[in-house]
Amino acid sequence: MDCIRVLGMAFSARHGVHSWEKSAPQRFEVDVELERDLSTAAVSDRLEDTVNYGSIVAVVRSVMEGEPVNLLEHLAGSIAGRVGELATGSRVTVRVRKPGAPLEVPFRTVEIELVREAQE
């Protein structure tokens, strides 16, 4: 299967379980992958025959910069659902990372990955 990827989108947002996480912006990173047949676009060279990655970015931005939520799982689910509306018939993978999660040990990042089938 072919794939469109938008990787490493970075946002300053206010998501988390603790009240202080909702009051001070933190760094989040998001990856989105769409598995779908891109053979028509590969031949036609027409934007209408693919999924515009600018539209993917706009969806992710609206979720990440929107109303604060508690869980990374919720963010990933919201993004997957909305991207799926743009890309029916695709397999959507969303990864949301929070490098500054409130943990008491050294770590690189916390990441949630959701995979969904976008229904037609």
22 catalytic? Reply is no
Given 98, 108, 115, 119, which residue is catalytic?
Answer: 98
Residue 111 DSSP SS3:
strand
Q: Do the Cβ atoms of 60 and 30 come closer than 8 Å?
A: yes
Cα distance between residue 62 and residue 67, in whole Å? 9
User: What's the farthest any 2 CA atoms get from each other in the chain?
Assistant: 53
Tell me which H or E stretch contains 58: helix 53-64
List the beta strands (DSSP E) in 14-118. 26-36, 91-97, 111-117
Map residue 83 onto helix, strand or coil: helix
User: Annotated catalytic sites, by residue?
Assistant: 98
